[in-house]
Structure 1
């Protein structure tokens, strides 16, 4: 379906795809509800679809101009939904199939970014059975699922962790939920994040936020429980560190081939200066809830929530039109 006849100020029919069955279902429902309200405020017609196994038939029946993908985690963020929508010839927000496959996999992301000079922690994928025999890295180290978002299933193993040494099979942790985990050295210091948004002149960083957690670290519960985490926006950090965060985030966005918006997360050991800044991951479908970081950084740049949603939708239409034009050239 060509979208060349659609003007940005003409009403569109937008399907907001949300929910699903991933660990981040509730966050996705919150993101989707906010996006749907903003689209209606902007004058568009909205159909909300809670992802299930019949999702392709429901989208086909709705016949939208564009799908706003408000899903988080698998299968909405790992290339599965993107491939389905590509086959259906429907425009959709955020990144495409190949980018989604790579970016949701933390190990593939390292392989894509580190050759370009973007520093990321080392580490390796470890079968959980091995954890019960020996530590994969010197403590402290971090264990995380390879392809989950929102810090789902992240554990920090320290010398005084109440999990045993080696880790006990009975100890509560992600090793009870997954067959294998990514083990990385723990980087002490501060938690920073930078959002990137596409515009007419290409991707640009929206700034840097520091996340200060009252208790523990920036895990799923602290992310989405109001009052648990303080967002300092803009982060009170040296200008050269802020500039480096923005540079790495924009470069990661470009290298991975992200579209619409992305968010890159960092740890910074301030004792090491610029050498202490490490990229942890790039999220291709950041949350759009009231507590989410991308809308917050956008507000700091005088971009309201409804305008942010509109920009993401317009980028989706632009990308889709480029795909249509390429296909026509190939056929022609």
Structure 2
């Protein structure tokens, strides 16, 4: 495992992060989830990402139990706040001071820790003044309950506004967590350049495009049993945009490129996002320990320019790169 600094800070994190979105407390039984966390630790992963909204707080509970007994100082635990949790009442979501404070204390309890290494605004909240949100984060930092602050799926302008307020309040934004993969490159045009100016790193999710870039979905063939594409709890909806024959056929053509690199297709996809020098870490998910060991093979890999060019040629216009797509990530109004 190799390590990278997170933003303009002294915090080092593993360049592969284990995340439990759509798995812990939902798709994967607790025993299997614990096995995946153990495999991550064995593979050298020290950074773990979750969110209170995952499985309506259950994912945090499972991760807290799985990490119990590990040396806390040797771990970097990330979580997020924004989405509706609990009974999903009118103040059970968003980035108001009330919800941030209540959510932070809930996360600390479920994760069985005294502090959160990186607390992230899971989306941008259009209904709460940004000043209120950033003040709440500042107070959590000063109280020692949060060490660093990040965001997720914010636009370049939102990052600039948030970073300016953070600076006024005596802390800094050091990370953004966007979707990023060979197929989904919308951050490259605006978010990455702004982040470099501001001292913000990317903590990227879905580097294998919800499993599509593993090559397991073959045009004209039955969907693999138990795969993300067959999950009626949300996974199938997330992967639907890639389940088109043209995209799947192009992905199949990546197999010889992965072979040339000496990597599985999943590891190739993860190594690809890590070639971006603004990416601090790639978040992987797993339902089986062997998936973890396969994915961490991407750590420390350098892909030559000629190989990267081959990937671009194969994927062609299947790649989504419109920067405006980031603006669509955050809801313009709260759900309740």
TM-score with structure 1 setting the length: 0.30
Rg (Cα) greater in structure:
1
Q: Could you say which structure has the higher strand fraction? A: 1
Structure number having the greater helix percentage? 2
